[in-house]
């Protein structure tokens, strides 16, 4: 999936890592696996909110701490031995 930024004041939040691709090589990743840590800063606001949009049946949840969010697997996903699960942020 793709992560999009929504801004409500003057300065857009900035991700610490501008672009990333996360590849999960595990055949059956265990539940509560941290897939990616997402970090951002916002000059207007110290607390940022992250959420997964338009994905009612998502296998993931976001667990947030100050300016950092962990993308965590909460449901099993089946990956063929020849496939990899890929997450990208642009």
Report yes or no on 25 lying in a domain. Answer: yes
Give the predicted TM-score (pTM) of the model: 0.49
Per residue in 21-56, pLDDT (tens digit) is: 666 555 566 777 777 777 777 777 766 666 665 555
Q: Is the pLDDT of residue 79 over 60?
A: no
Report yes or no on 5 lying in a domain. Answer: no
Any idea which residue has 């697997």 for tokens? 73
Report yes or no on 6 lying in a domain. Answer: no
Report yes or no on 57 lying in a domain. Answer: yes
Q: Is the pLDDT of residue 16 over 70?
A: yes
- Host domain of residue 84: 14-89
First-to-last alpha carbon distance for the chain, in angstroms, is 11
Report yes or no on 8 lying in a domain. Answer: no
Report yes or no on 29 lying in a domain. Answer: yes
**Mean of the pLDDT values across residues 2-6?**
60
Total domains present in the chain: 1
Lowest mean pLDDT among 25-34, 58-67, 72-81: 72-81
């Amino acid at each position: 999936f793709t992560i999009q930024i929504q801004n409500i004041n003057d300065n857009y939040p900035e991700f610490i890592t501008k672009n990333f691709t996360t590849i999960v090589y595990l055949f059956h990743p265990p539940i509560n696996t941290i897939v990616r840590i997402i970090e951002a800063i916002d000059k207007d606001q110290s607390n940022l909110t992250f959420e997964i949009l338009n994905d009612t049946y998502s296998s993931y949840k976001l667990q947030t701490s100050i300016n950092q969010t962990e993308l965590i697997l909460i449901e099993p996903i089946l990956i063929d031995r020849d496939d990899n699960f890929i997450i990208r942020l642009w």
